[in-house]
A and B are shown apart, each in its own frame.
Chain A
Amino acid sequence: MFGKKRVAVIGAGMTLFRRNLKETGKELAWEASNMALDQAGLELKDIESVVMGTAPDAFDGVHMKGEYLADGAGAWRKPYSRVFVGGGTGVFAIDAGWWHIASGQFDTCMVVAEEKMSSCYPHPAYAFTTIFDPIYSRPLGVTLIWIFALEMHRYMHVHGIKKEDIARVSVKNKRNALDHPCAQLGANITIEDVLNSEVMCWPVQRLDISPTSDGGAALILASEDVAKKITDNPVWIDGVGWCIDTTFWTNRDLYYPKYVQGAAQMAYKMAGIKNPPKEIDVAEVYDPFDYKELHHMEGLMLARKGQAPKLTAEGVTQRDGDLPINPSGGLLGVGNPIAAAGLMKCCEIFWQLRGEAGKRQVKGDPRTGLAQAWGDLMQYGSVVVMRS
């Protein structure tokens, strides 16, 4: 066993994901975390520590929003920390929650994530232009979508992947999201719809991209002793991993996410996983763009390099396939309130492993699940492996 205590997930909660929600960020954090507590059958006084995951301050428009959100996250007079690794934050937050308990310091930890992107005008993408190096990059007018388009194009070029091979991911995830009660963009669309959608930054088209969203999500973690007293059905965190690659993103070959591989190797080693595609029953892979699901499946070694599109075309990644990917509907379907979207993926794996995902439940009896997120300047991977 890694750490002093084995760590379980015992409750999950989330809000609707929408383009504009009336609630403030604090209120969203409270709604999600209060639901997670209810589901775990605990009260705030039972929580010993809190981890908050939330992405750039520039979205909510509240500088130092870790402290701003603290009361909504239930952190009043408790050990509290905010973690932040860009888009990787949601999954990194559960990793951080794990070490709070595994260290032996706490028996319970509430992990909360929130994003309120709708505050930012003219568009949250504008706030993102400030993440780039002010000297090398910004004078060129660089915007976030450029760098993803450059990565997607390189990935397509190296493996000879066609756009329709990638569009299948968007079709699948938006359809899966029709069964998610919180989803912002569940829809029945076709490959042609994706291929005919507006070209934004070739090869990225409108329907290749997840939306901007408001939302919150939360999980309750507990040590083995506490979890076994509360529930007969805990989900164990058996692997955590995180890894960052160089910030000089133009200096590496964008066709393969080595940072995701690094994070996965760390988590697999901890979980004793030797053959990921065989041993993992269901995965929530970070999909802010459709190509990223494929790219990340390869980084996670769930598919060989360049083979993820083939698995997708064969239906392997559908809910009733052998390796269901993003049964929730992912970011493309459920929505993308950055950190909350990553934690939503952890919630989904929790529900799937408990057999409580309702219409979204994958076939068989999944015992091992994985959630992954990706962030910073296309350079960060965070992974969690859970088992029921």
Chain B
Amino acid sequence: MTQYLIAMYQPDGIVPPPEVLGPIMQRLEEFNADLEAADALVFGNGLTDAALATVLRHNGTDVVVTDGPYVEGKEHLGGFEIIDVPDLDAALAWAGRLAEITGLPIEVRAFADVRGAVERG
């Protein structure tokens, strides 16, 4: 089995009206329930607004704290799921469902875990 990050990217500051968001949230809950039922969910959640992020850098002597997201841009990581599935095709199938539900671009990345290399087959 391999763990994958399924990351959702969403435009900043755009919150769909409740009549749109409601059904999406409903389907996301079903999605998560299905992931759990398939024993594939490691962890998943939505994030608060990217503007509320805090960035820390070590400048050689001190840790400097700044307000705002690390990457400037109009879209940010809005939430993610970590899933544990046999291979990329399985991960893409789950991610595809998420893309369809949210209408957002979804990025899939495998975790660099050497365990999977032994167990796969």
Whether chain B is bound by chain A comes out as no
Give residues in A with beta carbon < 8 Å to B: none
